[in-house]
Amino acid sequence: MAEGEHIELKFRIYDGTDIAHNTYSSSTTIATLKQKLIAEWPQGKTITPKVVSDLKLIHAGKILENNKTLADSRITFSDIPGGFVTMHVVVQPRPTKKKSEKNQDEKQKTNSCSCSVL
């Protein structure tokens, strides 16, 4: 893909819904695409990305890197008239930090008071 070209893309999320169908410049970065996806994420989905690092874009079996452009990523499509490229979107939110049961048990033991009368 030559610099300055445009490519028509759509993005398929985990439930088969297509979002952000549009024409993008070959100089658009993957991080910019992810920001657009977060902004246009459908309401009411059980899994919702919050930040760019929650998303992975997959094209032709490869996970695309945030700092690369569409041209750098060698996004290609067939010469079908009216054709477009579908990229798959994987949402992997970072796990929230939860206190383990072990830590809670330890806190209870250290906070407990015991007295002995002889």
CATH of the domain at 18: 3.10.20.90
14-69: pLDDT as tens digits:
999 999 999 999 899 999 999 999 999 999 888 899 999 999 999 989 999 999 99
Task: Kindly state whether residue 112 falls inside one of the protein's structural domains.
Answer: no
Query: pLDDT at residue 80 above 60?
Result: no
81-98: pLDDT as tens digits:
667 888 999 998 777 666
Task: Kindly state whether residue 1 falls inside one of the protein's structural domains.
Answer: no
What is the full DSSP assignment across 31-100? HHHHHHHHHTPPTT-SS---SGGGEEEEETTEEPPTTSBTTTTT------TT--EEEEEEE-PPPPP---
Number of domains in the chain: 1
Q: How far apart are alpha carbons 33 and 23 in whole angstroms?
A: 11
* Contact status, residue 54 vs residue 37, Cβ threshold 8 Å: no
**Residue 85 is part of which domain span?**
6-97
Task: Kindly state whether residue 116 falls inside one of the protein's structural domains.
Answer: no
Task: Kindly state whether residue 107 falls inside one of the protein's structural domains.
Answer: no
